[in-house]
Amino acid sequence: MKILKFTLIALFTVGFTSCKKDVTTEEKSKDSLTSKKDSVVVPEVHKEFYGIYTGEFSGKEMMHDSEVDEDYEGINTKRLSLKINRITKDSVYGQSIVNGNQRPFRGIFNQNSNSFTLDEPGNDKTDGRFEIKLNNDSLTGKWTAFNKSAVKAATKNLKLIKKEFVYNPNFMLDENSELIDWENPKDFKEKYTDEETGKTETYTQSKNRVASDAVFKINASKQKLTEKDLKNLRKLDMEIIKNSVFARHGYSFKKQTYRNFFEQTDWYIPVSNNVDSELSPMEKENVALLNRFIKYAEDKYDSFGR
């Protein structure tokens, strides 16, 4: 009788354990299927289109609620970069970089027309829609602001070429570059003597900052700068030398003064609004030294026609 009781207990225990194992296995299997479903990766397409497209971004500015005359210098041209990071069957992801403003975009690629429609988020006054066509390695089309009254040029045309961004410490301004800061003119009081009357009179003349040839010789990405290197330089010289470091790393400048200098080169490609982490230890030290000297440096002004 004891033997029979023990046998029944053993069978019951084994059966219960077996059922428990089956349930656990089934749950695990169910969890496994769920995980696989949740982690499905959407396949990417047209990876050959990935990369940076950079070039002219221009539009006619609006003034006094009316369009500026064609002859007026109201055509605002800037350097724009569009970076396409990912394309799937349904979506395109990337970012636009212009004027130090880096904005994400999302859109679609129409395979039949070989064109993109890309929308920036819309929570910034400078956001808008890109409608562009792909032709080999170039993108052409237009950008239209979502809020047309918030920007000077509500529609801009763009013509971009696909380029590979490369950091090169040897990049310098071309020696034919214009070294005038057109964005910060300053008025000076000048005196002259009238030959007929002999009277001395004063008049106001607007002058612009001008850099020296030092910007073609000093490279803060390659040489450790000393106080001796900087003590006789103009303020604009040091600003250009310092910002050349950031330009080599693809920094998108907010100040038009610096954009004007570096957009004269073939190598400058704006790719980010923050490249601080990309600077080498020597570059960081040089930038810190230049900042100290820039604070107390003086500028050289001259008069120029435009």
The whole model's pTM is what?
0.79
User: What would the pLDDT profile of 261-274 be if each residue is shown by its tens digit?
Assistant: 999 999 999 999 99
Q: Which 3 state secondary structure label does DSSP give 268?
A: coil
Q: What is the pLDDT of residue 39?
A: 59
Q: What is the pLDDT of residues 130-185, one digit of tens each?
A: 999 999 999 999 999 999 999 989 999 999 999 999 999 999 999 999 999 999 99
98-131 residue pLDDT tens = 999 999 999 999 999 999 999 999 999 999 999 9
Longest dimension (CA), the chain: 144
For residue 235, what pLDDT is reported?
97
Q: Which residues contact 94 (CB under 8 A, 6 or more apart)?
A: 82, 83, 84, 85, 86, 104, 105, 118
Q: What amino acid occupies position 35?
A: S
